[in-house]
């Protein structure tokens, strides 16, 4: 037997080498688990970065940074809701600018489409519902009813629709659902159309973030 393969305590060196290799692989396995676990924990935030990296949008980047800082999926829901409120508030301010609404008063706006201006302006007869817009968001009765159908809501009477239009809270909730559940609906408002870039960017960002949840 060749003595160079035996250690000083009489054990074979190959066995000690085998044990060392086994501990090395165990340690390596623990390190891999730690890396995988950490990657899974941060996966939610990393997925946001990867999926939005191709969208050069300052708002998106800001939201992603906030979500990563908080390290909480709930933060994204809150950010989305806040952005929706900003869209609705900007639309409301733009559409009702210069109009003061007092509880109990009804102040419709003469707002006929170009094709109906002569009809809406004539004296006598019944005025078409498309001639007037109501409330904080300047909605026409026919448009309100159309959106109610598309949302699957019960269609209201004319008076109920007018009450909805003048109710600040209910009309805001209704408009938010309309904008984000019925694509393209926001362009029914002239203020949104006049500020198309802002509304388009904001709504597109919200839709992109909503798909990540």
User: Based on the domain organization, do 117 and 63 belong to the same domain?
Assistant: yes
Q: What pTM did the predictor assign? A: 0.66
Judge if 170 and 83 occupy the same domain. yes
Which of these three, 38, 54, 70, is where a domain ends?
54
State which residues form the domain around 43. 1-54
% of the chain surpassing 90 pLDDT = 46
Answer left, alpha or beta for residue 125, where phi above 0 means left and psi between -120 and 50 means alpha: left
Q: What is the total count of domains within the chain? A: 2
Say whether both 66 and 48 belong to one domain. Answer: no
Residues of the chain with pLDDT under 70: 1-73, 213
> Which of 54, 69, 96 is the last residue in one of the domains?
54
Assess whether 182 and 118 both reside in one domain. yes
Q: How far apart are CA 203 and CA 183, in angstroms?
A: 10
Helix (H, G, I), strand (E, B) or coil at 110: strand
Q: pLDDT tens digits, residue range 80-133? A: 999 999 999 999 999 988 788 777 778 889 989 888 898 899 898 888 889 999
Question: In this predicted structure, what is the pLDDT of residue 69?
Answer: 56
Burial level of 108, CB count in 10 A (0-12/13-18/19+)? middle
Q: Tell me: do 128 and 94 sit in the same domain.
A: yes
Does 114 lie in the same domain as 144? yes
Residues 50 and 61 in one domain: no
Q: How far apart are CA 207 and CA 84, in angstroms?
A: 10
> How far apart, in whole angstroms, are the C-alpha atoms of residue 131 and residue 80?
35
Residue that is last in its domain, among 10, 35, 54: 54
Co-location of 193 and 149 in the same domain? yes
Shared-domain flag, residues 71 and 43: no
Calculate ∠ Cα 92-209-76, nearest 5°.
90
Check whether residue 130 and residue 178 sit in a common domain: yes
- 92 shares its domain with 35: no
Q: Based on the domain organization, do 46 and 71 belong to the same domain?
A: no
């Amino acid at each position: 037997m060749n003595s160079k393969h035996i250690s000083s305590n009489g054990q074979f060196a190959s066995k000690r080498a085998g044990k060392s290799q086994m501990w090395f692989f165990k340690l390596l396995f623990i390190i891999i688990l730690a890396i995988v676990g950490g990657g899974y924990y941060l996966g939610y935030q990393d997925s946001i970065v990867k999926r939005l990296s191709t969208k050069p949008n300052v708002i998106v980047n800001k939201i992603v940074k906030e979500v990563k800082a908080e390290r909480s999926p709930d933060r994204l829901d809150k950010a989305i809701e806040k952005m929706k409120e900003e869209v609705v508030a900007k639309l409301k301010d733009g559409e009702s600018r210069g109009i003061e609404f007092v509880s109990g008063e009804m102040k419709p706006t003469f707002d006929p489409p170009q094709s109906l201006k002569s009809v809406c302006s004539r004296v006598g007869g019944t005025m078409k519902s498309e001639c007037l817009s109501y409330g904080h968001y300047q909605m026409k009765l026919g448009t309100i009813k159309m959106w109610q159908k598309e949302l699957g809501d019960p269609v209201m009477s004319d008076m109920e629709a007018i009450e909805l239009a003048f109710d600040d809270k209910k009309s805001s909730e209704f408009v938010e659902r309309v904008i984000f559940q019925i694509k393209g609906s926001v362009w029914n408002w002239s203020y949104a159309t006049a500020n198309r870039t802002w509304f388009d960017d904001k709504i597109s960002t919200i839709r992109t973030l909503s798909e990540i949840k």
